[in-house]
């Protein structure tokens, strides 16, 4: 029985899953935390990721596996010197200090945002690696002078396993300087940041979906990928399906057979980890919003859910714009949260539900933008930590007005990394592995009576969103 391991290195922790390579059954798990961060500056020492992996691997029993793959938080920036040493703490995807650089970069191509979307599938925002490179060039010239390589979080971890600097097309597509449509780096975009540097030696080789990065203790190491790309594998995403992911941040994405380019910037035109494409909308604020609301109410998650479900749809007139730490979609990096409609008779229940509805309304706005770029008529899959919340499940189904499925399988990013590892081990399409493992099935929720109020709830949210522009 060959085993494979999937490593999920997220913003908050490292998770390891060990599975049977043939049927996907779970054999062992491990988990270890990362140092906490708080935007606008969100940085971590990459050494903490490796330490967390070692702790999680030990908790999983230090298994003997045939293959291993790493899925990491997307975007980010790890800068290395000529000796391969980390120059400064890694800037993470949710660090918004490069927001001015994103605005500047968007103006540097003739044609602006549309030209960027055509060039690399996406319009630059503060999350993207290219904006963080611009920030480093502008703010820390001494660190810039030491830069020999720039890699993504999952690339750095893969290099610790193999000694090679490689990446995959899924994670590369979130840099802002690799084109999913062309399948190649765009040196002209990197030259906007620094025209005097030879960028061809500074970025990692892009491996194919089943390419081997090397070996570690006898295990083949896959190319790895970004967390959203791995989660798509972990739920067996098919063409037309939509994933709504409720983590610290929120994402909505779909599988596409063709590359996408949204000049409005709402939809990022990413590649996936199987050779296809993954148009995606991301919001910075999801379960962090309900975590903050629960803290203010002095309750745990279960009690918070009960409060939110006890309030009527529309939260008694309360509307929360959940931009607690700035926002990416819409692009408002300096925004803060807004609670509107507050009256003296406000209830704890209404406040709890307003927090949930605010997060969900923002993600459903993203789904509408996504539907203009890719097929979205298939299953709606709800994943992430927030998918365990009864309140989030109910509000998503009611405001969407469609059947929602909550897949089983636990940690879908780590599971997707296991899928990739098995695909590399067996030399087959990762989607075929996901299908053979039967991934994606789970509990199905139908819209309830409150679905009749969905239009009014979403209209109130849009009105408040537009008023705060």
Q: Where are the domains of the chain?
A: 3-235
Determine the Cα–Cα distance for residues 121 and 258; give it in Å rounded to an integer.
11
Q: What pLDDT sits at residue 25? A: 96
Query: 268, 178 in Cβ contact below 8 A?
Result: no
Distance CA 458, CA 456 (A): 6
Cβ(287)–Cβ(356) below 8 Å: no
pLDDT at 408: 87
pLDDT in tens, 385-423: 999 999 999 999 999 999 999 998 779 999 999 999 999
Model-wide pTM > 0.75: yes
What is the pLDDT at residue 38? 86
Q: What is the pLDDT of residue 328?
A: 85
Q: What is the DSSP string of 297-328?
A: HT--HHHHHHHHHHSPTTGGG-EEE--BTBBT
Task: Identify the pLDDT of residue 262.
Answer: 95
* pLDDT for 26: 97
Rounded to an integer, the average pLDDT of 424-436 is: 97
* Bridge-based pairing state of the strands 225-226 and 205-207: unpaired
Is 95's pLDDT higher than 80? yes
Q: For the beta carbon of residue 291, count every other beta carbon within 10 angstroms.
A: 17
Residues 6 or more apart from 50 whose CB is under 8 A from it?
A: 157, 160
CA 68-74-77 angle, to 5 degrees, is: 105
Average pLDDT over residues 163-191: 98
For residues 79 and 152, the answer to whether their CB atoms sit within 8 Å is no
According to the CATH classification, is domain 3-235 in 3.40.50.80? Answer: no
As a whole number, mean pLDDT of residues 265-277 equals 96
- What are the CA-CA distances from residue 64 to residues 20, 112, 217, 275 (Å)? 12, 51, 8, 29
Q: What is the mean pLDDT of residues 74-80?
A: 97
Query: Looking at the predicted structure, is the pLDDT value of residue 1 above 80?
Result: no
Average pLDDT over all residues of the chain: 96
Mean pLDDT value across residues 157-176: 98
What is the model's pLDDT at position 333? 87
Residue 337 has pLDDT above 90, yes or no: yes
Tell me the per-residue pLDDT of 55-70, one tens digit each, with 9 for 90 and over.
999 999 999 999 999 9
* Per-residue pLDDT tens digits for 278-299: 999 999 899 999 999 999 999 9
Predicted local distance difference test score (pLDDT) of residue 200:
97
Active site positions, annotated:
227
Is the pLDDT at 260 greater than 80? The verdict is: yes
């Amino acid at each position: 029985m060959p085993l494979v391991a999937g490593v999920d290195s997220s913003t908050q922790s490292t998770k390891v899953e060990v599975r049977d390579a043939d049927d996907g059954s779970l054999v062992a798990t491990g988990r270890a935390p990362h140092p906490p961060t708080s935007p606008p500056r969100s940085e971590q020492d990459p050494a903490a990721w490796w330490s967390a992996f070692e702790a999680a691997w030990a908790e999983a029993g230090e298994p003997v596996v045939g293959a291993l793959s790493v899925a990491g938080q997307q975007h980010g920036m790890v800068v290395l010197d000529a000796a391969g040493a980390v120059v400064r703490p890694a800037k993470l995807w949710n660090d918004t200090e490069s927001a001015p650089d994103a605005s500047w970069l968007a103006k540097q191509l003739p044609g602006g945002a549309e030209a960027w979307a055509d060039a690399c599938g996406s319009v630059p925002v503060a999350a993207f690696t290219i904006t963080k490179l611009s920030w480093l060039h502008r703010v820390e010239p001494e660190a810039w002078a030491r830069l020999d390589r720039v890699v993504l979080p999952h690339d750095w971890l893969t290099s610790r396993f193999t000694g090679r600097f490689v990446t995959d097309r899924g994670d590369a597509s979130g840099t802002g300087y690799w084109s999913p449509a062309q399948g190649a780096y765009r040196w002209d975009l990197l030259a906007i940041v620094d025209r005097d540097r030879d960028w061809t030696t500074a970025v990692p080789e892009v491996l194919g979906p089943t390419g081997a990065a090397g070996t570690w203790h006898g295990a083949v190491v896959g190319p790895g990928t970004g967390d959203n790309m791995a989660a798509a594998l972990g739920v067996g995403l098919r063409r037309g399906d939509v994933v709504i992911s409720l983590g610290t941040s929120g994402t909505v994405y779909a599988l596409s057979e063709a590359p996408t380019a949204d000049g409005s910037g709402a939809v990022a035109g990413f590649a996936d980890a199987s050779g296809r494409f993954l148009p995606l909308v991301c919001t910075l604020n999801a379960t962090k919003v309900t975590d903050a609301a629960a803290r203010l109410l002095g309750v745990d998650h279960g009690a918070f859910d009960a409060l939110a479900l006890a309030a009527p749809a529309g939260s008694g007139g309360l509307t929360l714009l959940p931009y607690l730490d700035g926002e990416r979609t819409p692009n408002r990096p300096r925004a803060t949260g807004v609670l509107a409609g507050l009256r003296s008779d406000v209830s704890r229940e209404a406040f709890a539900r307003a927090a949930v509805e605010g997060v969900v309304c923002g993600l459903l706005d993203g789904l509408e933008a996504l539907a203009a770029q890719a097929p979205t008529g298939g299953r709606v899959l709800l994943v992430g930590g927030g998918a365990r919340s009864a309140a989030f499940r109910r509000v998503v189904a009611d405001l969407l007005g469609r059947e929602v499925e909550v897949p089983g399988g636990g940690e879908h990013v780590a599971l997707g990394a296991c899928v990739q590892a098995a695909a590399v081990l067996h030399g087959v399409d990762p989607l075929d592995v996901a299908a053979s493992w039967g991934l994606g099935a789970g509990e199905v929720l139908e819209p309830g009576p409150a679905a009749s109020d969905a239009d009014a709830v979403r209209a109130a949210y849009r009105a408040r969103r537009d008023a705060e522009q």
